[in-house]
Amino acid sequence: MEIKDYKTAGVVKPTKPAGSDNDEVRVSQLTTSENLIVYSIRAWVDSLKSKRNPLLNIQKGFGCAGIANASIAFDELMLISATFSNQALDVRYLCCQVLGEAEVDFIALISFAQHGKSEWAYRRLGGWLAPAAARKSLAEVEKIAEAMEGVGLYIGLRNEFMNFDLDTANVHVPKLPNVPSHKTVQ
C-alpha cells in the first residue's frame, strides 16, 4: 500500500506473510518507493562485484523514476558507506526475496529525512559510520529524500525502522524515586 499523504499517515502497519514467525521484511511487502531504494542498493553492489560502473545503472533507474538528479547523491552515499563502514553491511543479491538489515536501514534513512527526522537518520548512519562520514552521508540522504518527495515517491515510517534504543531518541522518561537508572528498558 503506497502512502500518499505520508505526513499525516503515521506509522505504516507491518504485514507478515502467512507462516512468517521472525522479523524479516520481504520484498513483496515493500512500496514502489521502498523497492526503488532496495533495488538500487543491490544493483550498485552487483555492479561493483562485476567490475562495472554502478553509477550507470543508478542513473537509468533513477531517471525512469524521475529523480535522475539524485543519482549522484545516491552513488556518493553508497561510496561513503562502502569505503568507511566500520562493519559489514547486509545487502542481499538482486533476486533475494528477503531484505538485509542494511537495506532496511537505508530505506529508514530516506523515510526519516522525508519526515523531518534528520537526527534519527544521522544516528542510524552512526551505527556503521564515524561521525564525519555520517554527517557527509546525511547530506546525501537529504538530497535523495527531497528528490523522491518532489516526484511523489514517499516512504512512510514503519515499525521495522524503529530499532534504536530510547536513549538516542531523546525521549523523556521520568525517573522513579529510589530506582537506579539503567540504559536498557525492560
Express each pLDDT in 59-87 by its tens digit. Answer: 999 999 999 999 999 999 999 999 999 99
Q: What is the pLDDT of residues 74-121, one digit of tens each?
A: 999 999 999 999 999 999 999 999 999 999 999 999 999 999 999 999
Q: Is residue 1 part of a domain?
A: no
Q: Is residue 182 part of a domain?
A: no
Share of the chain above pLDDT 90, in %: 70
Number of domains in the chain: 1
Contact 125, 109 (CB under 8 A): yes
Q: What is the pLDDT of residues 115-138, one digit of tens each?
A: 999 999 999 999 999 999 999 999
Q: Is residue 36 part of a domain?
A: yes
d(CA 76, CA 114): 19
- This prediction has a pTM of 0.76
Q: Is residue 145 part of a domain?
A: yes
Q: Domain limits at 111? A: 6-12+25-169
Q: Is residue 174 part of a domain?
A: no
Q: Is residue 177 part of a domain?
A: no
Q: Is residue 65 part of a domain?
A: yes
d(CA 133, CA 80): 7
Cell numbers placing 56? 550507470
Q: Is residue 91 part of a domain?
A: yes
